[in-house]
Structure 1
Amino acid sequence: MSALVLVERDGAVARLVLNRPARHNSLVPELLRALLAALDACEADDGVRALVLAHAGPSFSTGGDVRAFYQQGENIAAYGAELVGLLNEAIVRLAACAKPVVAAVDGTVTGGALGLVLACDIVLVSARASFTPYYVDVGFSPDGGWTAMLPAFIGSARARSVQLLNQRISAEQALAWGMATKLVASIDMADQALASARAVAAKVAGSVRRTRALLGPDLPQLLDALERERSEFLQQVVSTEAQQGMQRFLSQGSQAVQR
């Protein structure tokens, strides 16, 4: 079986690639554990000065794997607690990483995958990138930073509208609203992400680390907010609404966010 997260080295830059393309890089515990292990290895390697978080296939990640949730049956609460707990850990680890992280988003981002992007320092998006919550359509409660992080980027009013109406945020909107750093052509994404990571890696490491710490979120506050999301998620995911929503979502076979 292929590694769920590939680690590719280019000098002082490590490229972490979400590698579950057949399932649109939807999140399962195994993938999140692989991401955490990759972050551990990169942080322990003094030769790594910057990271790129990228993806294989047409989607950055479609968030939690709805089919995997649905297949849990009576174990769904325990599965949800594990998955969202690992997701929260990955988001906080990215935000707290001593080394800067560039996100290369050349496809769809839905559900809890949003937090993996918002935790990065520099976010490059192509015209193929988009961000959609889907919670109120599937019947889940927001996780992955949709309430814990997004309002700080786009404001409370926009965050409420996007989530309550399940609105899609285009790449252009993400750039205008402060979620993304730069719009680049898909064909140039890998090179642009590597160039950005190399540029930061060439700076004074201690200064970069302290700048990130000062500009980044209050980590205990972020963790508290993410854990509040997890608590609400676990209460909702066992509901009849969630069961019916998963059935409906899976029966639709959405091409945009196929899980």
Structure 2
Amino acid sequence: MTLVDTEHKDGAIWLYLNRPARHNALTQPLLDELFTALKLAEAKKPTALVLSARGRSFSTGGDIAGFLDHTGSQDRLLSYADQLVGALHDVILSLLAFPSPVLAAVNGPVTGGSTGLVLAADMVALSNTAFIQPYYSEVGFAPDGGWTAMLPEKIGTAKALEIQYLNSRLSAEEARRFGLAAHVCAPSDVEPKITEWVTGMSRRFAQTHVATRQNVWDEPRLQLVKERLDREKARFLDLIARPETLAGMEEFTKQSA
């Protein structure tokens, strides 16, 4: 079974995170498959790229069980975290640099670093059962995936800090009000709404969409996001191996069992 499914629909390429039994929690193999799928999709020059997920959740972010599996030595844990967060950030940057419009069909909850996959999308259709929540302060992690690198620009610095300090849960409707989603609907209507957007785009000049996206995500802007993501990873590595963080991971895993 692949961890990322690829489907071609009416000129768009759909990529589905496919680890539903674990709520599409991010692992190195999944991120590696997603990065490869993005590069293959880019070569096809689709009308749009659509990122979605199988199951009830979009993604719960980095799999804490994966971190705990590497706590036998500090070097192993740091190496694992470095590769995982680095792979997530590479995927986010690839989404931002993708030439065609990037859409997200968000079927369920989005937590932790997987939020960056949604932040990198141009237009988001959100299930009314979905929510967005950081959870970093519940475990002791430093934010990754764009929570500090991208979210403040999207919704304002004060609100981005408030959400992370209080571990606030944004409902689907709140996410729409803050501009994180263009549309909220019943779960069964998410994919039809994306299809409607793709159909509308296909009636217009693709070369204009490409030029528009490249102008918005030009090299200076991409470089700024990269630098901020690099700082996120450095802070993540600084905190991940601390005793209090290890205790936080273990406690969080018990509460989530």
Q: TM-score, normalised by structure 1?
A: 0.94
Matched, 1:62 2:60: yes
* Cα distance in 1 for residues equivalent to 2:244 and 2:210: 44
Aligned residue type for 2:49: L
Matched, 1:45 2:44: yes
1:248 aligns to what?
251
Contact 1:52 1:197 survives alignment (8 Å): no
1:32 aligns to what?
31
User: Stretches of 4+ moved more than 3 A in 1?
Assistant: none
2:4 aligns to what?
5
Where 1:131 maps in the other structure, the secondary structure is: strand
How big is the shift at 1:160?
A: 0.7
- Give deviations 1:79-133, integer Å, cap 9, x for gaps: 0000010100100110110011110112100000011001011111111111000
Aligned residue type for 1:88: H
Aligned residue type for 1:44: A
- Give deviations 1:186-210, integer Å, cap 9, x for gaps: 1111111122123223321221011
Where 2:204 maps in the other structure, the secondary structure is: coil
Aligned residue type for 1:5: V
Gaps of 5+ in 1: 255-259
* Cα distance in 1 for residues equivalent to 2:15 and 2:202: 16
**Of 216, 221, 224, which aligns to 1:221?**
224
Where 2:58 maps in the other structure, the secondary structure is: strand
* Cα distance in 1 for residues equivalent to 2:202 and 2:68: 42
* Cα distance in 2 for residues equivalent to 1:213 and 1:175: 25
Where in structure 2 are the equivalents of 1:1-259 lying within 5 Å? 2-46=1-45, 48-73=46-71, 74=73, 75-216=76-217, 218-253=221-256
Contact 1:13 1:198 survives alignment (8 Å): no
Aligned residue type for 1:211: T
Where 1:140 maps in the other structure, the secondary structure is: coil
Aligned residue type for 2:211: R
* Cα distance in 1 for residues equivalent to 2:212 and 2:248: 43
* Cα distance in 2 for residues equivalent to 1:201 and 1:232: 42
- Give deviations 1:143-180, integer Å, cap 9, x for gaps: 00000000011111111110011010111111101111
* Cα distance in 2 for residues equivalent to 1:52 and 1:198: 13
Q: What is the number of residues matched between the two proteins?
A: 252
| Aligned CA-pair RMSD | 1.1
Gaps of 5+ in 2: none
Share of identical aligned residues, percent? 42
How big is the shift at 1:231?
A: 0.2
* Cα distance in 1 for residues equivalent to 2:202 and 2:27: 31
Structure number with higher relative contact order (C-alpha < 8 Å, ≥ 6 residues apart): 1
* Cα distance in 2 for residues equivalent to 1:52 and 1:194: 10
